[in-house]
Structures are given as C-alpha cells and as structure tokens.
Amino acid sequence: MTEIKQWIVEEPGLDLHCELGEGPFYEPATNTLRFVDIKKKQLHTVNIAQGSKSLETLQLDMPVGVTADIEGVNPQEKILVAGKSGIYILERKTGSYELLKRFYDTAEKDERLRSNDGAVDPQGRFWVGTMNDFWLRDVFPEGSLFRFNPDLSRTTLKASLKIPNSIGWSLDHKTLYFVDTTSNHILAYDFNPEDGSISNERIFYQHPGPGSPDGFRIDEEGFIWQAIYGGGKVLRISPEGKVVGEVRFPTRNITCPCFVGKELWVTTAGEEDENEVESRKFGGGVFRVDVGVGGVRMFEFKLQRGV
C-alpha cells in the first residue's frame, strides 16, 4: 500500500472571505498572484512578499472564471479572461474589456451559462468550460468544453456537461487531463498537439468522496495536485492515478491550487453550512503551504491579432 504524505495547513495566508475564490495565477515578473472571486465579480492581486497589505481588488461587472496571459502582452496591463459570454481581453487598470469570441450564438444560452475553468495548451490555444450561471440555482447538462484557436476560431470538444472543470497536460504533452466535477473524476485523453484534437477517453482518477474534484495544477514531476471541493483537501495524484499525498485545510470548499516556487497557494470558497463553524471561519481565504516541488509553467495564448 502506497504511503500517503500529509501536510496540515492551519490558517489562511490571506483571510479575505471570497464567496467563490478561483483561478489563482502566479506572475513571476512581479512576484504577484492574481485570482478571481466568481460570485463577487472581482479580480484580486497580491504581492507574494508583502502579503495581505498589498491586496488590490478590481471590481468587474461580469463573472470571470479563469484568466491567462497573452503572448507578447504585459500581463500588468492586459490579460485574457473567460467571462460571462465568451473570452475577452481585460484592461487591468480600468476593468474595461473587449469581447474576442462568444461561447454561443444564441442569446438564451448567453443568459443561462457562464465560464468556469480553463487553461492554455502548449500550442497557445485557450480551452474553457461553461456551466449554468448562479441565478438558475442548479446545474443542468447544458455546459460545453470549448477550444479557442489563435485565429479566434472556436471548436466544441464536449457538450451536455454540468460542471466542466480544470484542464491540464502531461509533461510530454501527449495526454490531456480534464475534471468532470459532477461525475467525481478526472478524465484523460490522448492529445494531438498539431490540431488540438482529443481521443481515447478514459477515467484517470475516480474520487470516492467526500467532496468532488475542482481545480488542479501539475508539478514538475508530472503529478496532479487536485483540489477537493467539500472535502477540505488537495490530493497529490501520481501519473498512474494513485493518491500519494494530501494537504489538509481547516475549511471544506477547496477550489484551486497554484504553484509559487515550491509553495502551493490555494483558493477556497465560503462555507454555507452554519453548523460548520471552523469551515465558515476560514472559508474563502487563500492558503499557502511548502510542498517541496515546483509546478510546470503556464502557457500563453498566441493571439494572432493585435491588442
């Protein structure tokens, strides 16, 4: 039986009570971390060395699920975001944005759905999943997994999804990992880097509960660090799909990790259960823990037109 290494985190590094903290993204040039609060429609930025006193918040007028850098563009000025109706260029100083490409071609779908998670692939294409917006108060199999190419052409890879979640690639870029939260598993696909197609779907990891898989990141050894929403932990999963490590937190709704050097910085969501006193106390905070390994670099969207 594989010995599982454990880390225990007792309090947040940033105690700011996001409703739905998500999308942590490290910017090494400025040693800052950006992350979103999807429900509050906010983009937060914090300097790693200075901590909470450096926290800056940009109020938006739409929910943003995930952000990415654009090749050749200073991320302090403009970044790529997946928002309410599609993918956008966000001006970070003003909060204004430009719609690049819609998810859907009908107003009804625009209204019912929003972005959730996503990532840029090694060839500079942006992958994004959509799910029902909060006002519907439930999730239905109406979401999709999209790929946006540098020329802004759009391809639908999967449809009829409830909560499509994190996306990432193996170290050799031959495998794409994709979280289907409502099915409690991580799927794996053969990935064709030339055209971005996927094939040979199989279950890579099935989570037994409690909680469900949310966001993940991949470390430099090819292991997945998988947040468990409702389970109060991040799991380290080997390339063979075996749990070999576990980071425990004092709140239940863990949403997504991000590597900052050899530390994990981890976003969380608020706790709605009034009986979960400790979880409510720390829910929505951002946590940090030294795990002794670094992550793979994040890829940039290779937008063909100017910004």
Q: Give mean pLDDT, residues 248-271.
A: 97
Q: Is the peptide bond before 213 cis (omega within 30 degrees of 0)?
A: no
pLDDT at 1: 60
Distance CA 185, CA 270 (A): 23
Distance CA 182, CA 129 (A): 13
In a domain, 116, yes or no: yes
Q: Are residues 4 and 245 in contact, defined by beta-carbon separation less than 8 angstroms? A: yes
Tally of domains in the chain: 1
Check whether 31 is labelled as a binding-site residue.
no
Query: How many other C-beta atoms lie within 10 A of the C-beta of residue 134?
Result: 12
Q: What is the pLDDT of residues 172-219, one digit of tens each?
A: 999 999 999 999 999 999 999 999 999 999 999 999 989 999 999 999
In a domain, 43, yes or no: yes
Which pair of structure tokens corresponds to residue 52?
A: 């909470």
Check whether 22 is labelled as a binding-site residue.
yes
Check whether 15 is labelled as a binding-site residue.
no
In a domain, 181, yes or no: yes
> Using only C-alpha atoms, what is the Rg of the chain?
18
In a domain, 306, yes or no: no
In a domain, 303, yes or no: no
Check whether 116 is labelled as a binding-site residue.
yes
Distance CA 74, CA 45 (A): 15
Check whether 214 is labelled as a binding-site residue.
yes
In a domain, 78, yes or no: yes
Residue range of the domain that includes 120: 5-290
Which pair of structure tokens corresponds to residue 97?
A: 């944005």
In a domain, 295, yes or no: no
Which pair of structure tokens corresponds to residue 284?
A: 């929505």
In a domain, 301, yes or no: no
SS3 187: strand
Q: Are residues 234 and 225 in contact, defined by beta-carbon separation less than 8 angstroms? A: yes
CA distances from 141 to 74, 113, 156 (A): 37, 11, 15
Q: Is the dihedral of CA 55, 61, 63, 67 positive or negative?
A: negative
Catalytic residues: 214
Q: What is the pLDDT of residues 109-144, one digit of tens each?
A: 889 999 999 999 999 999 999 999 999 989 999 999
CATH code of 252's domain: 2.120.10.30
In this predicted structure, which of 123-132, 229-238, 279-288 has the lowest mean pLDDT? Answer: 279-288
